[in-house]
Amino acid sequence: MNDRAERSLSNTLVQDGIDRSLEAVRESLARHRLRLRLEEIGTVLAVGDGVARISGLKGVQSEELVAFADRRLGIALNLLPEEIAVVLLDSEGPVEAGDDVRRTGRVMDVPVGGSLLGRSIDPLGRAMDGAEPVRADQRRPIEREAPEIMDRAPVTVPLQTRIQVIDALIPIGRGQRELILGDRQTGKTAIALDTMINQRDQDVVCIYCAIGQRASSVAAVVAGLREAEAMENSVVVVALGEAPPGLRYVCPYAATTIAEWFMEQGQDVLIVYDDLTRHARAYRELSLLLRRPPGREAYPGDIFYIHSRLLERSTHLREELGGGSLTALPIIETQAENESAYIPTNLISITDGQIFLSSELFGEALLPAVDVGRSVSRVGGKTQLPAYREMSGDLRLAYSQYRELEAFARFGTRLDEETRRTLVRGRRVREVLKQGEREPLSVLEQLGLLSAVTEGLFDDVELSRMDEAKRAVRRAVSDRAQQVGERIASGESLASEDRDALVDAARDGVGSIRDE
């Protein structure tokens, strides 16, 4: 083949390649449809203290997410004719006047799913435990409507905390909202943490929501859960104290959305809000920065609404909807045990009861420092195991009477024999209700101790030996009344022979320390 023929063949092959490429481009263009996307862009006018004022976003909706140039997010809260006010959700990276802002067309959402178990995340779904990024198949808005009345079922199953003073006198049901309140450093978080730890073998998923806490405090909670092997069925949602107020404000809503996903799968869930005092303060800070009119104690007028719409999402669903439940334990900090302050009264009116922790009892080392006379459960009594009601029916009244008589006895007045017996019995009741942190009591052990104190078996035991006597009774009932415990845990009433078996075992336990 000569050079001319080779050049002609080469040109033909090149031309064929070009023709095929052009044909492929034509086919691709024929399939392609141009789509115009309308993007609304605004401009930052001013930034300060976690709030940005923006102009130009005329179509933005309330609580819509907006994105800044560096991909930081904010929530539009104030919508005014000339500008909007956006609450920033991230403190990383600067936002300056003149920056562009875009609408996202969606509200704030959070990842949900079983992959979150064992993880610590922030309200945006970012990992806070140093592990790999959170991977979830689904995201849900943090603001959701509470279940309808007709979708709810009665609260009928107890949530066993294994804390005797609560299970016996202030019981909590699955689906209930029980407030924990007290002064600073009285053991509020300790009660909530013990309750979470004691759910690890009861098939209850636990969500711990830390709002405005120190990093060291959250780390201690996570370490406690890991040490007790309870982190595997728990999720920790964290907004630290140095986080922007917007992130602290959305934190409990994000945690509740995560909890609702488990509830809708038919599971029982426990969520702890630690604490809503800091949440209220974060919302007050935002409201004042947004120049909303202040009300009582400088809180905005809708402070009651933000907490009621949060706690109303806790419920027990009907069996047709899976039968799951969401139990809420919100925590509130009081000042000088003032229950009539604005936020405590709001939360007391929203919830189904309260566990009040007394700084006086805490100072006397009577732990947990639960003030039985000021605590109440408006729902849990109906869910309580029948054996508790039969064993501790008069215990609450007797203990309250003892507390009043003790105050009079301090004046050194002469007391009649009946009053002396009441004081002796009351001191033993108080010792029985004392319980150390991370010392859970099974249902059988609790009822054994209650039977011993109600029958007066501890009356002649010296107070210095009460701890020893309690341990002896717990061992005795655990060894000799296992079948009774199984019947009680199944919801059966306490038969007379079962009660006698508990009393006999407790009597032997108390007698064993006398023989030493």
For residue 47, give the amino acid letter: V
Q: Tell me the one-letter amino acid at 482.
A: Q
Residues 6+ apart with CB under 8 A from 447: 387, 388, 391, 477, 485, 488, 494, 502
Active site residue 378: yes
> 371 forms bridges with which residues in the sheet?
none
d(CA 41, CA 409): 74
Q: Which tokens is 245 given? A: 């107020």
Q: Which two tokens stand for residue 224?
A: 């406690």
Q: CB of 110 within 8 A of CB of 124? A: yes
Contacts of 252 (CB under 8 A, 6+ apart): 209, 211, 273, 276, 279, 310
| Active-site residue, from 135, 226, 296, 378 | 378
Contacts of 417 (CB under 8 A, 6+ apart): none
Give the separation between CA 446 and CA 474, rounded to whole angstroms.
Answer: 8
Residues 6+ apart with CB under 8 A from 115: 134, 135, 136
Amino acid letter, residue 246: G
Contact between 463 and 427 (Cβ < 8 Å): yes
Residue 257 class from Cβ within 10 Å (0-12 exposed, 13-18 middle, 19+ buried)?
buried
Distance CA 429, CA 449 (A): 9
Residue 382 to residue 447: CA distance in whole angstroms: 18
d(CA 297, CA 283): 13
What does the alpha-carbon distance between residue 82 and residue 2 come to, in Å, rounded to a whole number?
80
The 8-class DSSP code of residue 145 comes to P
- Asked if 179 and 356 touch (Cβ cutoff 8 Å), the reply is no
CA proximity to 361, closest of 351, 353, 373: 373
Distance, in Å, from the CA atom of 399 to the CA atom of 406, rounded to the nearest integer, reads 10
Q: Which residues are catalytic?
A: 378
